[in-house]
Structure formats: C-alpha cells, structure tokens
Amino acid sequence: MKSKKISSRATAVGVVLAVDGLVHLYWATGRTWPVDGTARLSQLVLNTQVPFTPQVLVPLAGMLFSGATLVLVRGGRLPALARRLPALLPRWGSRAVACGLLVRGAAGLVWVTGAWADPGDTFYWLNLLLYTPLCLLLSRAAWQVSAWDSASGTAPGTAAVGMAVRP
C-alpha cells in the first residue's frame, strides 16, 4: 500500500473523529441539534438515556480529538508534531482508535439484528445505514494506518512483489 493511500486514510479517520469531537463540544453547550431535548438526542445517538452534560461530553470530545491527532501523526499528516512525540505513541494510539471503532461497529451489528433496538426507531436506521458502516470502515482504515511502515513502504508482514531475498 502506498503512503498516499495511508495518508488519505489517516485524513479520513482524523476528519471524522475531529468533526465528531466538535459535535460533542457543541452538545456540551446545552444545545441539542438535530433534535429538541437531551432525552431525544440520547435516544437518537445511543439508543438509551445518558446525561448529555459537559462533564460527560468534554472528556469524550478530548478523546476524539486526541485519537484524530494520533492517527493524523501516524499517517504523516502532522510531521512537526510527530517529531515531538514518542515514536510508539501514534502507532499504538491509532491501534486504540481502530479497536474502539471496531467495538462500536460490533455493537452496531448486534443492534442491526433487532436486539436492543427497535426497527421502527430512527436510531435503528441511523445505526444500520450510517453509524455501523462508518465505524467498521474507519476501524479498518485506522488499523492500516497503525500498521504502516514508512521505512519500507509496506504494512508489516508484507513483502514487495518481485523482490527475492538471496542468501
């Protein structure tokens, strides 16, 4: 896989996580767009009732921004910051992002079966058509970014086609 593809994937993951972080900061102000009221918002986004308070939303936004930053650094999009961070942090941070997105995607697959989600609710359809596919795609992209070896230009465990190792 070429570095251009990796940096594009890093950008996609980073942008989605950063936008999600901004949305969470917006909700932390007490606004509840795209619906009226925190109870409806909680149901629409999480399929359950949880508090949409700054104490919950601001740390979550911070985690989303941190994840976005680490994936972008790992993907070569923030070289100045990359020089300031321990080398393993962006790789493992990107893996943590990939795993978190995979867990959300797996939960979404359970909800798609109708378990704990009513097929008549808006959440069910948002989960089926947006949340779950996006999480699974971004999880794969974040993992590919984490596995990228910029020195060899390949993902670990892969060899360049046509290259033979001679004793």
Residue 149 backbone dihedrals phi, psi, to 5 degrees: -115, 100
Residue 72 resides in a domain: yes
Whether 126 is covered by a domain: the verdict is yes
* Cα gap 56→20, rounded to integer Å: 14
Structural domain includes residue 163? no
On whether residue 156 sits in a domain, the answer given is no
Instruction: Please tell me the predicted confidence (pLDDT) of residue 162.
Output: 40
Say what the alpha-carbon torsion angle 28, 30, 34, 36 is, to the nearest 10 degrees. Answer: 150
In this prediction, residue 149 carries a pLDDT of 82
Is residue 165 domain-resident? no
Over residues 140-158, the pLDDT tens digits come to 999 999 999 866 666 654 4
Residue 75 is predicted with a pLDDT of 96
pLDDT tens readout for residues 79-133:
999 999 998 999 999 999 999 999 999 999 999 999 999 999 999 999 999 999 9
- Whether cis (ω within 30° of 0) applies to the bond prior to 34 is yes
43 part of a folded domain = yes
Where in the sequence is the domain holding 143, given as residue range(s)? Answer: 3-147
Global pTM reads 0.89
Average pLDDT estimate for 30-39: 95
Domain count, the chain: 1
- Residue 160, in any domain of the structure: no
Q: Is residue 12 part of a domain?
A: yes
